Amino acid sequence: MDLVVVELSASHAIVTGSGRDQLRPDDVLSGERVAEPDRDHSTGSDMAEALGEILRLPALKTGGRGGFDWSPVEAKLGATLPQDYKRFIDSYGAGLIDDHVAVCAPDEPRDWADLLQHNVYAQECVRLDFGGPDNDSRGWHLGDSLQWEPRREDVPSWFNPGDNLISWGHTGNGDLLFWHIKPGVAPDDWPVVFKEEGPYWEQYQSGFSAALVGLLTGAIRSEYLSRWLGGPHFYTS
């Protein structure tokens, strides 16, 4: 085994090198990592406009015509969704960023793009990690700590009892993108978290539009996503 630690903190270690089947290059060993963006004070609406410009899309719609009826979707999810995400979807619909990151939307005929269908799958994936393979109960709330493995080995340290996750997207590698929902926090302030296929997590400390803008401009560096997001950037629906 030939490994070199390139980043080390109290919560994670990132290594490069060869480890045959034991480790992959750039693994996050402890399971979680904070990907800090450059700080700015832009609003979600500003970031949604910036995201559209980076993806070379037409200007965002300013009216409600042609948009989705969000009430039934939000009722099923049990939460009001962030305004910047809804404005982006109302304007452009579901699609793929750089042929890699899928952004889901309601009422999509394509299985991979339907917000509700994808979220059911994504939550089941997380339940398997949080509750362990021997927990065969179904449909429990992710914040129900009574269902977690006693040592919470695969529950990230930033996720607390009563929290929740809603997934708005995924990647061609089977990775999942979520909002981290915390009681008392407004939807527009929900941060995005990324779950690599496996137990590894990254926090982006930003909302939907700001996280994607950061990833596409390089202000946020992801150990798993950034390598797939080369410019010029584009969005295909």
Note the pLDDT tens digit of each residue in 82-104: 999 999 999 999 999 999 999 99
Beta strand ranges found along 114-211 (DSSP E): 164-171, 176-181, 192-195, 201-203
Q: Of 54-58, 148-152, 194-198, where does mean pLDDT reach its minimum?
A: 194-198
| CB proximity list for 144: less than 8 A, separation 6 or greater | 161
Cα four-point dihedral sign 110, 58, 55, 180: negative
Strands 201-203 and 32-34: parallel
Look-up: residue for tokens 């899309």? 57
* Torsional class of 109: left (φ above 0), alpha (ψ -120 to 50), beta (otherwise): alpha
Biggest CA–CA distance in the chain, Å, is 59
Q: Of 1-15, 48-62, 122-136, where does mean pLDDT reach its minimum?
A: 1-15
Cα four-point dihedral sign 192, 194, 200, 202: negative
Look-up: residue for tokens 């339940």? 127
| CB proximity list for 110: less than 8 A, separation 6 or greater | 94
Banded pLDDT at 31 (limits 50, 70, 90): low
Provide the β-strand partners of residue 210.
Answer: none
Look-up: residue for tokens 């080369």? 230
> Is residue 214 classed as helix, strand or coil in its secondary structure?
helix
Banded pLDDT at 63 (limits 50, 70, 90): low
One-character DSSP codes across 5-48: EEEE-SS-EEEEEE-TTS--TT-BSSSEEE-PPPP----HHHHH
Banded pLDDT at 26 (limits 50, 70, 90): very low
How many other C-beta atoms can be found within 10 angstroms of the C-beta atom of residue 9?
Answer: 10
Nearest to 107 by CA among 94, 126, 122: 94
pLDDT reading at 161 higher than 90: yes
